Amino acid sequence: MYKKKSIKWLRNVLLHLIMWISYALLYHLINYSYQPEEYKPLMLDTIGKYLIAAFIFYYNALFAMPRYLNKSNYIKYIVLLIALFFISSLFKQVFYTYVLPLFGYPREIPYTFLQSFLMNTWWVSQYTLIAFGYWFATIKIHYEREQSSREKDILRLEKEKIIAEYEMLKSQINPHFFYNILNFFYAKSLSGPNELTTGIEKLSEIMRYSLQRNEDEAGLVLITEEIMQIKRIIEINALRFQNLNFAFKEEGCFTDIKIIPHVMLTFIENVFKHGDVTNKSPVVLEICYNNGTFNFFCKNVKQLDTGNTSTGIGLENIRKRLQLSYQTRHTLSIKEDTNTFLVNLKISLQ
């Protein structure tokens, strides 16, 4: 850290030094082009002027302005600025009167008091204004960097919060499905092993997928894998309900298309938990993908008395997960009346 600060400080000093040398050199060359015979005294004149200019600049930018303007202490700053004016005027007077003449500096027209006052006023004013611009720009850059750093920290914390919340939501997937299926297997195991073997096999595949699914870095899985789990759930429940009435339709090419896991599965679990799946009106399930838009539609007849009280946690989890993952790129419509329950989910995956 200390080494980085030292390198940064040396780089800033070097940049300032190059700026002042370039500025003074340009001024000197312009004067030299008009008076080439007086090269030496003009060079000394240039050095003296820009030593004073640098003093005025850094006195303001690094000392007076940060100390007094930052604290809105304008009176003290004005007093110091007046003092700076007299000090720089005195230095210039001594430099031009006693130093430069020793090296042949021409003084053909002596300056009157008014001329000297006006020249010094302009000299101090221009470098004070330049210092003000530098000081203001420094504050602005520092403020924007702090804001940027603060925003990055906020975004990082929000991202960590979202990841933590997302993991928590995934861990809260409704366990009623597995509970009901295991109860069914227990009942079936009392009479014969055939259906039990098939059911256990399907359930183990679903549980294996839940625990070992192939999520990418964004936490997405292939839609084809989710559809496969839906089919397994339907097959398992076909063992539970001999008159299962389920109309399942797939449309579109789902190759390499991904989605957040367990959204569709939760809706299907709720169908078998709360729906009348043996009703004359079938459970309608449609999964489509067309022109970058994924559509999930499910409609079922409700059981009048399922014995299962819905807490709404599963649906609320889905809403939060969809919002975290897709924000405005999705719409979730859930409608129900005394007889039917309908879900329509659309996601733009482009």
Q: Within this chain, do residues 210 and 336 fall inside the same structural domain, yes or no?
A: yes
- Tell me, yes or no, whether 239 and 305 share the same domain: yes
Does residue 191 lie in a domain region? yes
AA identity, residue 57: F
Measuring CA to CA, which residue among 200, 205, 168 is closest to residue 182?
200
Between CA 278 and CA 325 the distance in angstroms is 35
Is residue 279 within 8 A of residue 243, CB to CB? The reply is no
Please tell me the distance from the alpha carbon of residue 233 to that of residue 247, in angstroms, as a whole number: 14
Q: Which of 16, 94, 117 is nearest to 48 (CA)?
A: 94
Helix or strand or coil: residue 111? coil
| Structure confidence by residue, pLDDT tens digits, 173-206 | 455 566 566 667 666 665 665 666 677 777 777 7
Residues 152 and 178 in one domain: no
Instruction: Provide the β-strand partners of residue 72.
Output: none
Element (H, E) at 341: strand 340-348
Give the relative orientation of helices 39-58 and 113-171 as an angle to the nearest 10 degrees: 50
Residue 80: band (very low, low, confident or very high) from pLDDT cuts 50, 70, 90: confident
Q: Which of 172-176, 226-230, 304-308 is least confident?
A: 172-176
Of 133, 160, 187, the last residue of a domain is 160
228 in a domain, yes or no? yes
The pLDDT of residue 249 is: 93
- Same domain for 203 and 242, yes or no, is yes
Which of these three, 122, 138, 160, is where a domain ends? 160
Return the exposure string of 194-220: e unless at least 16 CB atoms fall within 10 Å of the residue's CB, then b: ebbeebbebbeebeebeeeeeeeeebb
pLDDT tens for each residue of 15-58: 777 777 777 677 666 666 665 555 555 666 667 777 778 888 88
**Total domain count, the chain:** 2
Residue 247 · residue 281 · CB < 8 Å: no
Same domain, 340 and 290: yes
Supply the pTM of this predicted model: 0.50
Q: Is residue 165 part of a domain?
A: no
Strand partners, 318: none
Do 215 and 314 reside in the same domain of the chain? yes
Structural domain contains residue 147: yes
Q: Are strands 283-290 and 293-301 parallel, antiparallel or unpaired?
A: antiparallel
Q: Are 309 and 201 contained in the same domain?
A: yes
Q: Is residue 167 included in any domain, yes or no? A: no
CATH number at residue 291: 3.30.565.10
342 and 198 within one domain: yes
Q: Round to whole Å and give the CA distance between 216 and 131.
A: 54
Among 138, 160, 182, where does a domain finish?
A: 160
Q: What is the mean pLDDT of the chain?
A: 77
Neighbours of 320 (CB within 10 A): 16
- Say yes or no: 129 and 190 in one domain: no
Based on the fold, state whether residues 210 and 312 are members of the same structural domain: yes
Instruction: Give domain status of residue 27, yes or no.
Output: yes
Residue 166 lies in a domain: no
Domain of residue 263 covers 172-348
DSSP annotation of 282 reads P
As a dihedral over the C-alpha atoms of residue 9, residue 11, residue 16, residue 22, rounded to 10 degrees, the angle is: 160
Q: Which residues lie below 8 Å from residue 344, measured CB to CB, with a gap of 6+?
A: 295, 296, 297, 331, 332, 333, 334
Instruction: Specify if 216 maps to a domain.
Output: yes
Question: In the prediction, which pLDDT does 345 show?
Answer: 95
Tell me if 215 sits within 8 A of 170, measured CB to CB: no
Q: Which residues contact 56 (CB under 8 A, 6 or more apart)?
A: 84, 88, 123, 124, 127, 128, 131
Tell whether 200 and 270 lie within a shared domain.
yes
- Res. 284: pLDDT tops 80: yes
Amino acid at 208: R
- Note whether 199 and 282 are same-domain residues: yes
